[in-house]
Amino acid sequence: MTTGTSDRVRALLADVPTDLLVDGNWVPAASGRRIDVLNPATEEPIASIADGGEDDALRAVEVAARVQRSWGRTAPRERSEILRSAFDLVMARQEDLALLMTTEMGKPLAEARGEVAYAAEFLRWFSEEAVRIGGDATVSGDGGTRIICTREPVGPCVLVTPWNFPLAMGARKIGPAIAAGCTMVFKPSELTPLSSLALAEILREAGLPDGVLNVVTTSDPGSVVGPWLASGLARKLTFTGSTAVGIKLLGQAAQHVMRTSLELGGNAPFIVFDDADLDAAVEGAMVAKMRNMGEACTAANRILVQRGVADQLAARLAERMGGLVVGDGADDGVQVGPLVGPPALDKVERLVGDAVARGATVVTGGSRPDRPGWFFTPTVLADVRRDSALMSEEIFGPVAALVPFDTEEEALEIANDTDWGLVGYLYTRDVDRGFRVSEAMEVGMVGLNTGLVSNPAAPFGGVKASGLGREGGRVGIEEFLEIKYLAMPRRTLG
């Protein structure tokens, strides 16, 4: 990092709140404890945030429950305007927010800028949805009853987010919750909390009333989220993170029969048929694999390639991957940043070692570069065997694993041979095959001749162990609304 950048980062960090947000005030944790936040490119501490616990959690959820009544009755236009102002503020500070994100999470600045815009778009999208919450009125089959349906906010929500998209994952939940009229208690990841804390402060500036959004950071997630779910005060859980933690929280939410949305892990197949436009497939694979250094639930975990083009795809991907500039994401020209921490790095090393031990060939990369920070060199593995651990575990790193196949049926069989079902990608020039394979893939989202599906206007979410519910799109707000049905006898005149 250059001295100029360091000064700028220091100035930015000085402005970010590092305490808990409860009832509109930034307050230290009751215990007085703090947690260090590290820069994964340097392994150095960059900030110290409040380490909340059960007492802080209970205060926050009591506030959210108290404020729900008045907040739920605000005019939709008022909620819409707050979100729209927040969108404007986020975009006005895009550069600062991007640098903050890169410093706490590692992704290159260009990608961080993209995430800031993506996150902001959820605020704008849901500002537009706030004033379009619909209902309907109909008449029963026998004509004797009026059936009038309205939508009400589901109530106080528990928001829990992962570290890999530090701004967008929170915005994707906060946007619809505000639009629907729900209050919130929010626990961002302890690894990358600063972007979320900055967003909370922006929402305050945008006019969000005290107590609507409460934020508790902690080194012990169970001691905060557990009491929220057990309190009986929150009515909804919306979680993004690993399947293992999601399953645990689903069980806890069941105690109070809470509405639950889960955005969990993935194991995306990326299928390249031999009739594909290979230029487009290579471009798509680079995006689907390398966005966020491979640390994405949508990352192409298994690149299935028809045997006729397997060598060509491996060579072309290796050329592109091998040419990527690895380094501190804050530095100009860097295309691949560090992984989030030592456990992530250990996991990638283990999965590559296992695949090679089972017969895969390293076409490029395959190891850690010799430098400080949690870096892994962009890697292409060819001829990956189906019994390799990375076929059933999220790699979450810059490793493209190529698995050869012969027929369409075989590709589909491999693609669906997983507990997960978030997204699948396929490249083909045959329209009929494109639809056929898309329909047969057991996933919530399909990228047909594209390596990017994330879009605020689209319903994001998975099937099987990848989750419950959808975020974004026209349906995103529904997750935060309950339908109330009013029955009324109907007598006709004349």
Residues lying near ligand NAD in the complex (CB under 6 A) are found at: 160-165, 169, 187, 189-190, 221-222, 225, 240-242, 245, 248-249, 263-266, 297, 394, 422, 467
**Catalytic site includes residue 157:** no
Name residue 269's beta-bridge partners: 302
Kind plus residue range of the DSSP H or E element containing 49: strand 44-50
Considering 111, 115, 129, 263, which one is annotated as catalytic? 263
Q: Letter for the amino acid at 234? A: A
Query: What is the number of the residue whose Cβ is closest to ligand NAD?
Result: 241
- Least separation in angstroms between residue 191's CB and ligand NAD is 7
Distances (CA, A) of 227 to 62, 161, 185, 329, 459: 11, 17, 11, 37, 30
In this structure, what token pair is assigned to residue 403? Answer: 């698995």
Task: Output the smallest distance, CB 26 to ligand NAD, in A.
Answer: 20
Q: Which residue's CB is nearer to ligand NAD, number 129 or number 190?
A: 190
How many residues would you count in the chain? 494
Q: What is the rounded CA–CA span in Å between residue 218 and residue 44?
A: 19
Taking the complex as a whole, the smallest distance from the CB of residue 245 to ligand NAD amounts, in Å, to 3
Distance, in Å, from the CA atom of 234 to the CA atom of 257, rounded to the nearest integer, reads 10
How are the residues of the chain apportioned to helix, strand and coil, as percentages rounded to the nearest 5?
Answer: 40, 20, 35
CA distance 429 to 274: 9
Choose, from 111, 295, 297, 394, the residue flagged as catalytic.
297
Q: Are strands 213-215 and 379-382 parallel, antiparallel or unpaired?
A: unpaired
Nearer to ligand NAD, 242 or 416 (CB): 242
Report the candidate in 118, 199, 174 with the shortest Cα–Cα distance to residue 456: 118
Q: Any catalytic annotation for residue 190?
A: no
Is the Cβ of residue 395 or residue 412 nearer to ligand NAD in the bound state?
Answer: 395
Residue with smaller CB distance to ligand NAD, 178 or 422: 422
| DSSP codes of every residue in 171-202 | HHHHHHHHHHT--EEEE--SSS-HHHHHHHHH
Q: Least Å distance between CB 428 and ligand NAD?
A: 26
Please state, in angstroms and as integers, the Cα–Cα distance from residue 256 to each residue in 236, 240, 250, following that order: 10, 20, 11
Using N-to-C axis directions, what is the helix angle for 431-440 and 408-416, rounded to 10°?
Answer: 30
* Amino acid, res. 446: V
By beta-carbon proximity to ligand NAD, the closer residue of 36 and 78 is 36
Burial group, residue 256, by CB count within 10 angstroms (0-12, 13-18, 19+): middle
Q: Which is nearer to ligand NAD, 286 or 422 (CB)?
A: 422
- Token digits of residue 272: 């390249």
Q: How far is the CB of 273 from ligand NAD (least distance, A)?
A: 26
The SS3 call for residue 289 is helix
Closer Cβ to ligand NAD, 382 or 423, answer by number: 423
Residues belonging to the active site: 263, 297
